[in-house]
């Protein structure tokens, strides 16, 4: 559960190491972090408790990141307007274009540097540094 006043970020990635890494980097600067392993779990979590930002990978089992974004943008407001940072491994033109079309706000190539992760998370959540 997010503490009052703390911006809450949902990290969606099937790699446990990635989720743990983001969690540590983001919690260190004061974000509250939740995790999901695929798009279906991300939707379940977001419907239970709102977030300020979702960071989502493309390749995931059962529901990939692109399909998740489309489902997210079909939800009722305010959920549909949740900022989404998409991460993927290759700057493959296919994934970037698909992520943009599906409603990504920002696309970053993995592996992320913690400083870049925190910077973009702050910008997308509207949290001052």
Interface residues toward another protein, by CB under 8 A: 14-18, 20-21, 36-41, 43-44, 47-48, 58-67, 71, 89-90, 92, 94-95, 98, 110-114
Q: 15 or 126: whose CB is closer to another protein?
A: 15
Angle of CA points 116, 122, 128, to nearest 5°: 125
Instruction: Fill in the DSSP letter of residue 78.
Output: T
Q: Nearest distance from residue 126's CB to another protein, in Å?
A: 25
Q: 30 or 92: whose CB is closer to another protein?
A: 92
Q: 52 or 95: whose CB is closer to another protein?
A: 95
Q: Which helix (H) or strand (E) holds 112?
A: none
Question: In sequence order, what E strands does 2-123 have?
Answer: 8-12, 32-36, 53-57, 84-88, 106-109
Q: Nearest distance from residue 6's CB to another protein, in Å?
A: 18
The phi, psi pair for 127, rounded to 5°, reads -105, 125
């Amino acid at each position: 559960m997010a503490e009052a006043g703390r911006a809450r970020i949902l990290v969606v990635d099937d790699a446990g190491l990635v989720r743990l890494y983001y969690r540590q980097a983001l919690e260190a600067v004061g974000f509250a972090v939740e995790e999901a392993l695929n798009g279906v779990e991300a939707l379940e979590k977001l419907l239970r408790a709102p977030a300020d930002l979702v960071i989502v990978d493309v390749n995931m089992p059962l529901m990939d990141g692109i399909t998740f974004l489309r489902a997210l943008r079909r939800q009722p407001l305010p959920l549909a307007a949740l900022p989404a940072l998409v991460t993927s491994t290759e700057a493959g033109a296919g994934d970037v274009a698909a992520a943009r079309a599906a409603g990504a706000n920002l696309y970053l190539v993995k592996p992320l540097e913690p400083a870049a992760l925190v910077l973009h998370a702050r910008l997308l959540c509207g949290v001052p540094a």
